[in-house]
Structure 1
């Protein structure tokens, strides 16, 4: 897999992968991903297979806030040039490519991007069933998030990178 910045032409594939990894209430819309591609190109990474097909992606803004806030799913914040915190709004891998460590590789690649931009932390919210995956990737469980996104219970996961 080759990890690189997103391209506008990746939109349809990204939305299809998102729909396989999240419930309809949780998943980002095509319009949200169009906005994220435009505004977060430097912090929107895709994993491409040898044929160039996107098999997974990770995206989120670099902001002053240390945790993902619900409004960020609807209105994409602008990336800070340097400093702040790297958030993850979505990490998803196509069902056919799961089990190949693509999710972990995408987290590692975004961590490098964040380190180069002097971010303090990498953080995200996840469902309880994914806490162990993120802990295995160096995150600490910060407890239940204030989020009510999709009427789910979310956990703040934080990785210090500064």
Structure 2
């Protein structure tokens, strides 16, 4: 079994995080290196990475908001981050392909959920594609239907986990 360490992001992780995002998401949906630089600076406490054998292999991140849904502007500007907000968002749960199907995404998600609980959040919210609704439901998320988000020109579903 692969030994994985989940830890908080560090500024020096920036380039690797951007590389992983580019592998995991189509160009229209992937966050830019500049966006990750801003996220790491604005909400490092809501940004976890997975490391195996000293190599970053995945991450999970998102700002905090009082909104009950993710709206597109959240992806594009850290100015919408509300440190004492009630809802923890998830912008992305990324694991590079060669490390998938080993429970790493689940470890990241479970750590992130616990972090949200420990910091007094009421909900964790995310958007996902239809094919991933069932996966997130396995963590207790409820499908709230088609999202108003059109991020990257895709159709998304709003998901909520009540803590």
TM-score, structure 1 normalization: 0.94
5 Å matches for 1:1-162? 1-49=4-52, 51-76=53-78, 77-81=80-84, 83-161=85-163
| Displacement over 4 Å in runs of 4+ | none
Q: Are 1:39 and 1:79, in contact at CA under 8 Å, matched by a contact in 2?
A: no
Q: CA deviation at 1:129?
A: 1.1
Per-residue Cα deviation, 1:27-66 (whole angstroms, up to 9, x for no partner): 00000000000011001000111x2211110000111112
Q: C-alpha root-mean-square deviation of aligned residues, in Å?
A: 1.0
TM-score, structure 2 normalization: 0.94
Q: C-alpha distance in 2, partners of 1:54/1:137?
A: 24
Q: CA deviation at 1:78?
A: 2.6
Per-residue Cα deviation, 1:121-154 (whole angstroms, up to 9, x for no partner): 0110011111111111221111000011111110
Aligned residues: 159
